Amino acid sequence: MKRVGFVSTRIASTDGVTLETYKWYQVLERNGYECYFFAGELETPQDLSFLEPKAHFEDPEILEIHSRCFGKTTRRASLSAKIQELKDHLKSRLYEFCGKFNIDILIPENALAIPMNIPLGLALTELIAETGMPAVAHHHDFRWERKRFLINAVQDYLKCSFPPNLRSLRHVVINSEASRQLSYRTGLSNVVVPNVFDFANPPLPPPNGKLLRVELGFEDDDLFVLQPTRVVPRKWIERAVELVSLMDLERPRVVVSHEAGDEGDLYAQRVAQYAERLGVEVIYAGDRVGCARSFKTTCDSKYTIEDAYHNADLVTYPSGYEGFGNAFLEAIYFKKPIVVNRYSIFVEDIEPCGFEVIAFESFVTSELVDRIKSFLNPGNLGWVVEKNYELGRRNFSYEVLERRLLPLVESFM
């Protein structure tokens, strides 16, 4: 049983689900597994891929279903029929995928956790129930964690498939709170497997050196403050702006590495307007900074996220909520000092590891600025980032993933 099929709505771009799928793929591949991919958008190797557009959460029919299912408490019979029609189509395509690549084990990536594509979740549930195929569901965030899913007309589907309770299905979550909530709400046992990074292979100097810094207009003595996240409200980018405004810099700027993403550009405009009032320039660099550590072998952009980290002097991570915290691990990996809001998952699953960070509670103050200045002192910074890297290697490395994931997969043999 060495042929693994990953299934998701999208395995592409720089979202957290894609990045963690890539890491699972790397760990399984180096342990002798063959991996194949099914999704509505793919950047995976073509000979290992099975593209099905209806699996994407942005497919027009799926978007129409989504809009008619949430924010309402009843649904028409015609909507139920449409959901069933698409479920049957996706199930037949999943059967085709499993047959084409002789899949032994399925790994649904968030497709059975958050109802972005209800027909896909139903199709996966029925396929696993009908075949008894071994599966490890990798849950990144659940429907009860998002208020937009609270009012809905599909409680029957949500209870059936998000997530399902099946004999041959194992459940993996990425933090302790998700583990408790899954058990409390559904009675399902599960395993916590945190997000990881390849700490066994330290970062190499970027080929572009300091060119990104120069291109963005930074002088040698300017402070390069990096906000390495997507531009969505829960990232609380306003806090990074407030922090920079308090630092009394000659040229106060915040560089945001990612594009607006899946939730429109209204929030990006709001942040820019707020920053203008505070006298801070926000540089949205998503059009020139791409990802170079996922499935794509080449980067379409001139620079990569690695370039952004190498050029940064300080990383801000003021999120109000995170499922885990990829950007936190990235900052530790690239040996950068980080300012982090003590979001709940950080407090429970990351902070106890002993990382040396500049932490704050929900809002920034001038006292926080004083701590940053002390932290950035060359005499302090060297040992701090080295200590953090070692703690990352010990707690959130690929080797940790191997120790937790492989016994799950091998339990089916």
Q: Are residue 228 and residue 145 in the same domain, yes or no?
A: no
Do the domain assignments include residue 172?
Answer: yes
Lowest mean pLDDT among 102-116, 128-142, 304-318: 304-318
In a domain, 382, yes or no: yes
CA Rg, the chain, in Å? 22
- State whether 187 and 266 are in the same domain: no
Determine the pLDDT at residue 285.
Answer: 86
| Whether residues 152 and 238 fall in one domain | no
| Segment 22-34 mean pLDDT | 96
Task: State how far the Cα of 373 lies from the Cα of 277, in Å rounded to an integer.
Answer: 24
**What is the arithmetic mean of pLDDT over 366-389?**
89
Same domain, 366 and 403: no
Instruction: Give the pLDDT confidence score for residue 15 in this predicted structure.
Output: 80
Q: How confident is the model over 120-145, as pLDDT tens digits?
A: 999 999 999 999 999 999 999 999 99
Domain that holds residue 187: 3-196+398-410
Lowest mean pLDDT among 198-207, 259-268, 357-366, 370-379: 259-268
Q: Is residue 381 part of a domain?
A: yes
140 and 234, same domain (yes or no): no
**Do 353 and 340 share a structural domain?**
yes
* 202 occurs within a structural domain: no
CATH assignment of the domain containing 404: 3.40.50.2000
Does residue 234 share a domain with residue 106?
no
CA angle 158, 184, 362 (to 5 degrees): 90
Count of alpha carbons within 13 angstroms of residue 340, beta-carbon side: 25
Residue 180 lies in a domain: yes
Lowest average pLDDT, out of 12-26, 63-77, 169-183, 324-338, goes to 12-26
282, 359: one domain: yes
184 with 278, same domain: the answer is no
Could you tell me if 143 and 245 lie in one domain? no
**Do both 260 and 337 map to the same domain?**
yes
Percent of the chain at pLDDT above 70? 97
Amino acid at 11: I
Band of residue 23 on the pLDDT scale cut at 50, 70, 90? very high
- Residue 16, pLDDT > 90, answer no
- Does residue 206 lie in a domain region? no
Span 316-335, average pLDDT: 93
Indicate whether 264 belongs to any domain: yes
pLDDT of residue 286: 83
pLDDT tens per residue, range 259-296: 765 566 889 889 999 999 999 999 998 888 876 667 76
Give the tokens for residue 111: 């497709």
On whether residue 203 sits in a domain, the answer given is no
Q: Does 230 have pLDDT greater than 80?
A: yes
Tally the domains of the chain. 2
Angle at alpha carbon of residue 343, lines to 358 and 197, rounded to 5°: 75
The pLDDT tens digits for 146-185 are 999 999 999 999 999 999 999 999 999 999 999 999 999 9
146 and 225 together in one domain: no
Instruction: Report residue 297's pLDDT band, with 50, 70 and 90 as the boundaries.
Output: low
Q: What is the mean pLDDT of the chain?
A: 93
